[in-house]
């Protein structure tokens, strides 16, 4: 592989985890002598742009491919992709991330017909891909992708099995989980001081946007009886979103509003996790959320739902996995762990070791880079 183009339906207006991934891949390509480019839905903010330039990356921004609501305009996407191929190519490998299937199929097949396409293409599936029903097995958009894309990268084995069930050839798929940058040493005591929580109280923490997919209604239904029975237990939520008012109403209706703390968006998540006793996430769907890996890296036991890649990484040595949408099972798992402090202490030691052994950003970048290198159309 002499060149790699990342096509991302993403307007990078923050310096978040995915932007760090793009910079890390740029750095890996520079070290290995691979030309690296990006096609983005907007100009990166200055700190991200500076980091990309320092890593040797170039990019083309095409804001016209999305409408004001952020929806992809397929034909604008096709034009932007073909422009990147003609003006910045040739490319050996193109990886599509956060794009729409129909747009990628149209862009790839047209590029192939015009003889401007890359040597190989890869679809990176970030969101959860559920096992299909009878109709979805026949009508899934994955069946379209197989004619336009050479390989697929998924975050979890469950996703790979679902893709195969939807018609994707099993030999053309690879499972490469997300990875995180291990956090710096955290500052303990700040969260409890900020919220006025007792040193001996129990803190459960959730990190994630307040949106329906994150299952906050299920989380509150599970935890409200436990909070009511234990006045020194508190739920801390780092994140914001359209479901915030619904969470506030549900907490008030359950009589536990004083024990639920909605902190909004935070840039000190490692410090929050360091002051917590348990990480909880009741998502209805995920790929492999970085928040779970960050909690494990912080030595925090976790209770999560069996969606996406959670079951792949959350073993019995670091936490419990329960069915999605089941507040009774979630409540039982939380109660069981918090009743066994010896078990919690063991999990606190195991989580960081598991992340360091194979779930860092360096592991993800290395695995993807080697996979891209080995693709033969």
Instruction: Classify burial at 376, counting beta carbons within 10 Å of its beta carbon; exposed 0-12, middle 13-18, buried 19 or more.
Output: exposed
- Is 360 in contact with 180 (CB distance < 8 Å)? yes
In degrees rounded to 5, what are phi and psi of residue 236?
-110, 130
Six token digits for residue 195: 């919220």
Q: What one-character DSSP code corresponds to residue 280?
A: E
Asked if the model's pLDDT at residue 132 lies above 80, the reply is no
Q: Could you tell me if 212 and 323 lie in one domain? A: yes
Q: Are 180 and 211 in contact (CB under 8 A)?
A: no
Cβ 43 vs Cβ 13: under 8 Å: no
**For residue 108, what are its two tokens?**
């790839």
Tens of pLDDT, residue by residue over 288-319, are 888 999 999 999 999 999 988 898 899 999 99
d(CA 51, CA 12): 13
In the numeric block, which tokens belong to residue 184?
A: 């710096």
CATH of the domain at 79: 3.40.50.2000
Q: Crossing angle of helices 327-338/216-229, nearest 10°?
A: 50
Please, which contacts does 105-108 make with residues 24 or more away whose CB atoms are closer than 8 Å? 105/144, 105/145, 105/147, 105/148, 105/149, 106/74, 106/75, 106/78, 107/77, 107/78, 107/81, 107/82, 108/148, 108/149
Strand pairing partners for 236? Answer: 205, 261
Q: What percent of the chain has pLDDT over 90?
A: 63
> Is 185 domain-assigned?
no
Residue 189 predicted with pLDDT over 80: no
> Average pLDDT, stretch 145-155?
93
Q: Which residue has the higher pLDDT, 337 or 16?
A: 337
If asked whether residues 114 and 222 sit together in one domain, one would say: no
pLDDT band at 34 (very low <50, low <70, confident <90, very high): very high
Question: What is the DSSP pairing of strand 35-40 with strand 58-61?
Answer: parallel
Alpha helices for 211-257 (secondary structure H): 216-229, 244-253
Task: Say if residue 121's pLDDT is above 70.
Answer: yes
Mean pLDDT of 346-353: 90
- The verdict on residue 152 lying in a domain is yes
Over residues 198-224, the pLDDT tens digits come to 878 899 999 999 999 999 999 999 999
Q: Which domain holds residue 120?
A: 3-179+360-373
Q: Please give the residue that has the higher pLDDT: either 186 or 279.
A: 279
- Whether residue 266 is found in the same domain as residue 365: no
Question: 290 and 171, same structural domain?
Answer: no
Residue 66 has pLDDT above 80, yes or no: no
171 and 198 share one domain: no
- 150 and 196 belong to one structural domain: no
Please choose, from the candidates 356, 358, 362, 371, the residue with its C-alpha nearest in 3D space to the C-alpha of residue 27.
362
Counted domains in the chain: 2
When pLDDT is averaged across residues 148-155 and rounded to a whole number, the result is 94
CA-CA-CA-CA torsion sign (36, 48, 271, 223): negative
256 vs 269: CA distance, rounded Å: 23
Q: DSSP 3-state assignment of 238?
A: strand
Same domain, 252 and 140: no
Same domain as 202, residue 82: no
From residue 249, alpha-carbon distances to 145, 170, 213, 256, 258 in Å are 43, 46, 18, 10, 12
Query: What is the per-residue pLDDT for 135?
Result: 66
Tokens 């949408």 found at: 325
Q: Which of 227, 355, 199, 206 lies closest to 291, judged by CA?
A: 206
Per-residue pLDDT, 377: 63
pLDDT at 14 over 80: no
Residues in CB range of 8: below 8 A, 6 or more apart: 18, 22, 38, 39, 40, 41, 97, 98, 99
Asked if the structure places residue 74 within a domain, the reply is yes
pLDDT value at position 74?
82
Supply the mean pLDDT for the chain. Answer: 90
User: Residue 127: pLDDT above 80?
Assistant: no
Would 303 be classed as within a structural domain?
yes
Q: Could you tell me if 125 and 253 lie in one domain?
A: no
Same domain? 16 vs 156: yes
Query: In this structure, are 215 and 241 located in the same domain?
Result: yes
So what's the pLDDT on residue 72? Answer: 73
Higher model confidence: residue 77 or residue 9?
77
Q: Which strands, in side-by-side order, build the sheet including 93-97? A: 58-61, 35-40, 3-8, 93-97, 120-125, 151-154, 173-175
184 part of a folded domain: no
Quick one: average pLDDT of 79-100? Answer: 93
Instruction: Identify whether residues 99 and 64 lie together within a single domain.
Output: yes
Q: What is the pLDDT of residue 280?
A: 97
CB 94 within 8 A of CB 3: no
């Amino acid at each position: 592989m002499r060149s790699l183009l990342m096509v991302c339906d993403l307007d990078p207006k923050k310096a978040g985890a995915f932007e760090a991934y793009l910079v890390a891949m740029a750095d890996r390509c520079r070290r290995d002598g691979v030309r690296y480019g990006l096609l983005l839905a907007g100009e990166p903010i200055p700190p991200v742009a500076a980091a990309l330039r320092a890593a040797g990356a170039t990019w083309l921004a095409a804001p016209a491919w999305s409408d004001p609501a952020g929806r992809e305009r397929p034909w604008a996407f096709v034009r932007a992709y073909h422009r990147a191929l003609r003006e910045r190519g040739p490319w050996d490998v193109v990886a599509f991330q956060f794009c729409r299937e129909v747009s990628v199929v149209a862009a790839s097949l047209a590029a192939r017909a015009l003889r401007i396409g890359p040597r190989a293409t890869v679809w990176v599936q970030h969101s959860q891909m559920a096992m299909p029903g009878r109709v979805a097995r026949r009508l899934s958009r994955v069946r379209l992708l197989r004619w336009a894309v050479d390989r697929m990268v998924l975050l979890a084995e469950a996703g790979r099995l679902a893709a195969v069930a939807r018609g994707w050839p099993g030999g053309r798929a690879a499972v490469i989980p997300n990875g995180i940058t291990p956090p710096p040493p955290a500052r303990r005591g700040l969260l409890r001081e900020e919220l006025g929580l007792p040193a001996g109280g129990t803190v459960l923490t959730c990190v994630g946007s307040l949106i329906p997919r994150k299952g906050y209604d299920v989380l509150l239904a599970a935890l409200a009886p436990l909070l009511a029975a234990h006045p020194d237990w508190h739920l801390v939520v780092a994140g914001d979103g359209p479901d915030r008012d619904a969470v506030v109403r549900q907490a008030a209706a359950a009589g536990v509003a004083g024990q639920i703390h909605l902190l909004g968006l935070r840039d000190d998540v490692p410090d929050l996790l360091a002051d917590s006793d348990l990480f909880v996430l009741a998502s209805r769907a995920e790929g492999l959320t970085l928040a779970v890996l960050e909690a494990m890296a912080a030595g925090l036991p976790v209770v999560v739902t069996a969606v996406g890649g959670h079951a792949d990484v959350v073993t019995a040595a670091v936490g419990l996995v329960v069915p999605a949408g089941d507040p009774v099972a979630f409540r039982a798992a939380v109660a069981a762990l918090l009743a066994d402090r010896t078990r919690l202490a063991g999990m606190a030691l195991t989580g960081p070791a598991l992340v360091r052994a194979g779930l860092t950003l360096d592991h993800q970048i290395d695995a993807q880079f080697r996979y891209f290198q080995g693709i033969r159309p």
